[in-house]
Structures are given as C-alpha cells and as structure tokens.
A and B are shown apart, each in its own frame.
Chain A
C-alpha cells in the first residue's frame, strides 16, 4: 500500500500556485514540489493542518491510500 498525494489537484481546484501555498504554509517551494511528487518520507501534522486550512479541504482530499500496483 502506498500514499498518493493529490496536492496538485487541490492547487488547481483552488487556483493557487505552489509558491503562494509555500509562503502561506511556511515551508519552502522545494518541499511543496517534493510533496506534490510524493518524494517525501512523511508530512508533519502541523504542515498538513496548515495546507488544509489554506486550501479549505480535508486531509482525505490530499492523501489517498492505494495498492502498490495502482498508477497514481
């Protein structure tokens, strides 16, 4: 089982750029890119809460658990 990050979808839905979200959340744009591509080991609850607050969504809108053989 792996976790798929749907941050790019939410950013498009809310019409927000990665840079703007990074500034509002207080992390680097590089980390936002890493998060979008799923190349991070994990996300702190604090960061997740801030992202949800800025994008007005729930964690389930951003994160999806999928079997390993399923394409993102």
Chain B
C-alpha cells in the first residue's frame, strides 16, 4: 500500500542505491564465510579458542564437534543474511519513488527482528561455542562459559527500538492513506 509523497532527493536515492548494493555484497560475503567455515572448521575453532582463552593450539576436534560448530556458524549466518536481506529491501524502497509504504515499515520491523535474533545468538553463542569445543577436550580441560555484557544489552534495546519504529511507521502509513482519501 503506497502513500503519495514526494520522492526523496536524488542524492538520498543514490545513497540508498549504494547501500542496497552494499547489503547484497555483504550477503555474498556472509555466505562465502559460511562455506569457508564449513570447509575449514578448525579456523573457526581457533578463533573461538582465542576469544575465550582456550589452549593454543586447540585439541583435535571430532566429527561431531565439527558438525555442530558448522551448524552453529550457519545459524548465525542465516540470522545475518535475513537481516541484510531486509535491509536491502528497505534501501530499495528508499531508492524508489514511494519511500513511505507498508513494505518499508515491514522491512524495518524485520530488520529489528533479525538484529534481535543476532543479539540472542550472540548471548547464547558464547556458551554454545565453548560447549561444542569442550566435547573433545581432554579430561580436566572441559569448560562452560556464560557471558553477558553491556554491548549485548545495548543491542537488545536497539532491536526493540527498530521493531517499535517499524510498527509505528506502519500505523503512520495507514493514517496517511486514510488522510489521502479526504479531499
């Protein structure tokens, strides 16, 4: 449902087009990173080990740990790609001649949901990643890590804000549409 309003300035629309292209590039990059981490799970394991002060070099990972690690990586990538896809859709709306519409409002809501998923995955990921790596750890080196920092809380708040903006914008579009039906 579109509302007739002046299109954004040419400069803004070009900027939106550039951001749209960047979003698609980021999607390709994320997918490439996923493929790489699937082909070489030890690279991911070493990166996680470094972040969580695990022994360097890390112990050898079995097939189960590698599979679970790849799965965890792909779940994160799916959340990221979901967010980037809707960002691209939003920028496409702003690139067009009707930037304020239900599609844009829906895209903002979905971006907020995507970031929310990434925030939760970030909070849970610490625990899950270390747990996966610990499955093949030698006796005495198994560990469980739980972490929550202010960045995570900040991201959760930002996600909530985006979702609310999307909901309110949808209402505003509806009001504007109704208003248009008055002469």
Contacts and interface: CB of A to CB of B under 8 A. Distances in A.
A67 interface: no
Contacts, number: 19
A41 B183 CA distance: 8
Interface residues of B, number: 4
Interface string A5-42: 00000000000000000000001000110110000111
A47 B178 CA distance: 17
Interface string A37-52: 0001111100100000
Contacts of B182: 40-44
Contacts of A42: 181-183
B82 to A, nearest CB: 37
Q: What's the interface size class on A, roughly?
A: 10 to 19
Contacts of A27: 183
Contacts of B181: 40-42
A42 B182 CA distance: 5
Interface in B147-183: 178, 181-183
Q: Which of A27, A34, A41 has the most CB of B within 10 A?
A: A41
Contacts of A35: 183
A41 B181 CA distance: 5
Contacts of A47: 183
Nearest to A51: B183
A27 B182 CA distance: 11
Contact of B178 (A31, A32, A41): A41
A57 B129 CA distance: 78
Contacts of A44: 182-183
A71 B136 CA distance: 83
Interface of B: 178, 181-183
Interface of A: 27, 31-32, 34-35, 40-44, 47
13 contacts: A31-B183, A32-B183, A34-B183, A40-B181, A41-B181, A41-B182, A42-B181, A42-B182, A42-B183, A43-B182, A43-B183, A44-B182, A44-B183
Given A32-B183, A43-B182, 14 more contacts: A27-B183, A31-B183, A34-B183, A35-B183, A40-B181, A40-B182, A40-B183, A41-B178, A41-B181, A41-B182, A42-B183, A43-B183, A44-B182, A47-B183
